[in-house]
Amino acid sequence: MNHKICPVVMLAQQLIERRSISPEDAGCQDIIAQHLNYFGFTVEPMHFGDTKNLWAWRGSGEKTLVFVAHTDVVPAGNETLWTTPPFMPSIRDGSLYGRGAADMKGSLAAMIIAAERFVEAHPNHRQKLAFIITSDEEASGANGTSKVVQALMARNEKVDYGLVGEPSSTERIGDVIKNGRRGSLTAQLCIQGVQGHVAYPHLAQNPIHQALGALKELSMIEWDQGNAFFPPTSVQITGLKAGNGVSNLIPDQLHVQFNFRFNTESTYSMIRNQVENLLERYALDYQISWILSGEPFLTPKGELLDAVLNTVQHYCDSPPDILTTGGTSDGRFIALMGAQVVELGPINQSIHKVNESVSIADLQLLTKMYQRIMEQLLLT
């Protein structure tokens, strides 16, 4: 196929040209809205703060399939290291290069073209097809998909299936799909001591010394044993800060940051209670704040997972691995609506890297996969 007239490549190029560094959208959603409006979608902008969001739908059946995507990208870094400018999409050796090609403007383009082809073939589809698109997934996400979901839930919108286009694949398209993700919980801990001269330790209280035992025990706790779908809950201490670099001064505070990746066997309240009981047992003078970025979620075998598995097996030689590994995704917000959620997207080897790219053949295959999933879920 001539890449110059391949619709999914053309749309992906248009999106990559927009320097949409999170939370900027840089006009990407205007392009998407034009496509969706042309094919009979109702498009509703849902902007919150500095973030642009889009909710679009077509049809009015009992079941709703929503495609979940983002238009924002991470910064390109040192642009002189790129073979071609990161926001000037280029095609080399059968691949499309540019920031966001794999994460996730390529799969967003595939979703849109798949929807257009589906509507052309099935203009009277029985069930509802929808999109949630945000310009802030890569940064805080505070005003992104989470806010859209809150607004939709407040007006009793129903979503049954959520397909997230994050780059889930590792070696080939569809070799890995995600049917869940671990939760993410961060703690910011401050241990209070008493400042003093290192030569007079009896007149001070060193918060570093006081905290060492508790931090060691924290790092060694077995929170749970995991289950058939998730590894055990883990904690990593990600930051320690005390003092101001002066060697003869005992600091008055120690700041510690740590993060949990937790499964469905543990809960936020369970982890919080265990940590705070530990700190109390060591008689520490402390303050702690908690940031829950997302609860764990899991989609068991059902209509969506069956449709994705059927699709991958139809186009590929072997079935996919069904995993819950990796960080968080916006799928966690769709799961709050009671929806089945699966992630299927491009190969992730080049994401967030210099010379990010996606195979054009993979984009074309992904478009076919998305269309086949629509056909399985929206025509009955």
* pLDDT higher than threshold 50 for residue 307: yes
Number of H helices, E strands in the chain: 9, 19
Tens of pLDDT along 234-272? 999 999 999 999 999 999 999 999 999 999 999 999 999
Structure confidence at residue 327 (pLDDT) = 84
User: How sure is the predictor about 326, in pLDDT bands with cuts at 50, 70 and 90?
Assistant: confident
- 225: β partners: none
User: Measured between alpha carbons, how far is 368 from 315 in angstroms, rounded to an integer?
Assistant: 9
- Annotated domain spans of the chain: 7-181+296-379, 183-294
Tens of pLDDT along 131-153? 999 999 999 899 999 999 999 99
* pLDDT higher than threshold 60 for residue 3: no
93 annotated ligand binder: no
70 annotated ligand binder: yes
Q: Which of the residues 137, 343, 356, 362 is marked catalytic? A: 137
User: Measured between alpha carbons, how far is 236 from 168 in angstroms, rounded to an integer?
Assistant: 24
Question: pLDDT over 90 for what percent of the chain?
Answer: 97
* Residue 225 burial (CB count, 10 A): 10
Contacts of 138 (CB under 8 A, 6+ apart): 22, 70, 72, 73, 74
Q: Which of the residues 24, 25, 72, 356 is marked catalytic? A: 72
Structure confidence at residue 260 (pLDDT) = 98
Structural Rg of the chain based on CA atoms? 24
How much is the average pLDDT of 77-104? 98
User: Measured between alpha carbons, how far is 151 from 136 in angstroms, rounded to an integer?
Assistant: 16
DSSP state letter for 83: S
How much is the average pLDDT of 141-167? 97
Question: pLDDT over 70 for what percent of the chain?
Answer: 99
User: Measured between alpha carbons, how far is 144 from 111 in angstroms, rounded to an integer?
Assistant: 19
User: How sure is the predictor about 1, in pLDDT bands with cuts at 50, 70 and 90?
Assistant: very low
The CATH code that applies to domain 183-294 is 3.30.70.360
Average pLDDT, the chain: 97
How much is the average pLDDT of 40-49? 98
Q: Does residue 72 carry a catalytic annotation?
A: yes
122 annotated ligand binder: no
3-state secondary structure of 85: coil
How much is the average pLDDT of 286-315? 96
* Residue 99 burial (CB count, 10 A): 28
3 annotated ligand binder: no
Give me the amino acid identity at 363. L
**Three-class SS of 97-147:** ECCCHHHHHHHHHHHHHHHHHHHHHCCCCCCEEEEEEECCCCCCCCCCHHH
Q: Which CATH superfamily is domain 7-181+296-379 in?
A: Zn peptidases (3.40.630.10)
User: How sure is the predictor about 4, in pLDDT bands with cuts at 50, 70 and 90?
Assistant: low
How much is the average pLDDT of 86-96? 98
Predicted TM-score (pTM) of this structure: 0.91
User: How sure is the predictor about 317, in pLDDT bands with cuts at 50, 70 and 90?
Assistant: confident
17 annotated ligand binder: no
Q: Does residue 25 carry a catalytic annotation?
A: no
